[in-house]
Amino acid sequence: MGIPYLFHVAFFLDISLAYSILMNSNQNSFLRDTWYYALPSQQLRAGKTLTKVLLNEPILFGRDRQGKAFAIQDICPHRAVPLSEGRFAGDEIECCYHGWRFDTSGRCTEIPCLVPEQNIDISRFRVKSYPVSESQGNIWIYFYSGINRPEIPQFPAPKVPLFGTETYQAHTTMIFPCEFDQAVVGLMDPAHVPFVHRAWWWRADPTLAEEVKVFDPSEYGFTMRRHKLEQTTLVYQLAGDDPEVEISFRLPGVRVEQVITKQHKICNLTAITPISEDATEVTTLFYTTLPWLRFVKPILIPLTRTFLNQDRQMVIKQKTRLGYDPQMMLIKDADTQARWYFQLKKEFELSIAENRPFVNPVQSQTLRWRS
Ligand code: FES
Ligand SMILES: [Fe+2]
């Protein structure tokens, strides 16, 4: 499917300290053959369905009476009425227009208008279905390229480390009215923090300091090696002694920040999923061993939303100029992670197109910047 590119890397310069990647802003492509965050498990109750658009496709999520989640395209293959307008009964979806029925794998099981002599194999009428994976309180969906659903996705859905099968304690979601790549690049952009996220509860001191961080390649992405957390935020200060942090990114847009203190562990998962070329869903979840987290949730969630909204306001401002097709830059070293992101994406697409294993283009490296 030809979904246009947002960032077309048109030109690349490497001149001593600064390199520029000049990006054309009017093209986009959503990575396929990979997992995207779909929704929190708790939003999908047994025997119920829920519809949402992801990657420009209307998807009907459902949970059968045995508790198994499924996802099929929310378009009736007969005459395109949304299946979400019909009924979900007896673990089958009935279209509201002519009553065709489909099982949870998308296979047609009944066409009411057929008379007995009209002996056609209705099972060949199918709604497109998608692999889903449910763990740790999350439902992930696998978007594949081509028409045939893969028997088994080529790798498992992302997992939050350190928390086994446990679920999250706090969660929030926000829609960013921007292209996917812009939202992802914002996740790994250290230079904006002192300018955008200035707040007494996050970072009161506006003075910039030099940061030196070591990065290593990791599964479909890269990881900022574990180190002592120097600037601790309020939540982390309350979490215990000697906090250490490790931050990883993996395709398509998943960031995991682990903070470990002598007493506790906290993981923050941020997952980004495209809705369309102009809208992106950002979900952030907290996994912790802090027994008091549920008591501070009424404060934590609004603060997290304030924080996310600061990023959101920036992409809204940026969006007002992207229509003029500006060329944009990625500079050393502050934007190196963003540059890795585009390299990872390109290599991922190439490895799929050439039907070969993915070779991580990131090399272990120390990056320095002021923030
Ligand atoms: S449009 Fe769905 S059954 Fe006809
Ligand atoms: Fe930010």
Mutate-to-test residue for ligand 1 from 100, 122, 125, 127, highest number of ligand atoms within 8 A of CB = 100
Sheet containing strand 138-143, edge to edge, reads 34-40, 138-143, 132-135
**Closest to 343 (Cα-Cα) out of 124, 69, 21:** 21
At 205, the pLDDT band (50, 70, 90 cuts) reads: low
At 17 the pLDDT is 43
Tokens of 198: 């200035």
How long, in residues, is the chain? 371
* pLDDT of residue 203 exceeding 80: no
Instruction: Please tell me the distance between residue 294's alpha carbon and the centre of ligand 1 in angstroms.
Output: 46
Alpha helix stretches (DSSP H) within the chain: 180-187, 193-196, 234-238, 293-322, 336-353
Pair 100, 111: CB distance under 8 Å: yes
At 12 the pLDDT is 37
**Closest to 209 (Cα-Cα) out of 234, 231, 189:** 231
* pLDDT of residue 79 exceeding 90: yes
At 230 the pLDDT is 75
* pLDDT of residue 21 exceeding 60: no
At 294 the pLDDT is 84
At 29 the pLDDT is 79
**Closest to 7 (Cα-Cα) out of 230, 144, 182:** 182
> 249-263: per-residue pLDDT in tens?
999 999 999 999 999
Mutate-to-test residue for ligand 1 from 74, 95, 101, 127, highest number of ligand atoms within 8 A of CB = 95
Q: Which residues contact 352 (CB under 8 A, 6 or more apart)?
A: 32, 33, 145
| Domain annotation for the chain: domains and CATH numbers | 34-143 (2.102.10.10), 170-370 (3.90.380.10)
Instruction: Please tell me the distance between residue 304's alpha carbon and the centre of ligand 2 in angstroms.
Output: 11
Report every protein residue that has its C-beta within 5 angstroms of ion ligand 2. 311
**Closest to 257 (Cα-Cα) out of 291, 293, 292, 232:** 232
HSE value, Cβ hemisphere, 13 Å, CA-based, for 77: 20
Measure Cα distances from 36 to 199, 259, 369 in Å.
31, 24, 31
> 46-68: per-residue pLDDT in tens?
999 999 999 999 999 999 999 99
Instruction: Please tell me the distance between residue 60's alpha carbon and the centre of ligand 1 in angstroms.
Output: 15
* pLDDT of residue 25 exceeding 60: no
CA distance 210 to 151: 49
At 3 the pLDDT is 33
Q: Which atom of ligand 1 is nearest to the CA of 86?
A: 2
CA distance 291 to 144: 40
At 151, the pLDDT band (50, 70, 90 cuts) reads: confident
At 239, the pLDDT band (50, 70, 90 cuts) reads: confident
* pLDDT of residue 107 exceeding 80: yes
> 263-308: per-residue pLDDT in tens?
999 999 999 999 999 999 999 999 999 998 888 899 999 999 999 9
Quote the percentage of the chain above a pLDDT of 70.
89
Instruction: Please tell me the distance between residue 308's alpha carbon and the centre of ligand 2 in angstroms.
Output: 7
Ligand 1 binding pocket, CB closer than 6 Å: 76, 78-79, 81, 95, 97-98, 100
The residue ranking higher by pLDDT, 10 or 88, is: 88
At 201, the pLDDT band (50, 70, 90 cuts) reads: low
Lowest average pLDDT, out of 90-94, 190-194, 195-199, 229-233, goes to 229-233
Letter string b/e over residues 86-102, b meaning 16 or more CB atoms within 10 A of that residue's CB: bebeeebbbbeeeebbb
Instruction: Please tell me the distance between residue 143's alpha carbon and the centre of ligand 1 in angstroms.
Output: 25
Q: Which atom of ligand 1 is nearest to the CA of 80?
A: 1
At 11 the pLDDT is 33
> 335-352: per-residue pLDDT in tens?
999 999 999 999 999 999
Mean pLDDT over each residue of the chain, to the nearest integer: 90
pTM: 0.91
At 253 the pLDDT is 98
The residue ranking higher by pLDDT, 229 or 287, is: 287
Burial of 268 (0-12, 13-18, 19+ CB in 10 A): buried
CA distance 197 to 203: 7
At 198, the pLDDT band (50, 70, 90 cuts) reads: confident
Tokens of 278: 């102009």
Lowest average pLDDT, out of 84-88, 195-199, 242-246, 329-333, goes to 195-199
Kind of pairing, strands 87-89 and 327-328? unpaired
Three-class SS state of 279:
strand
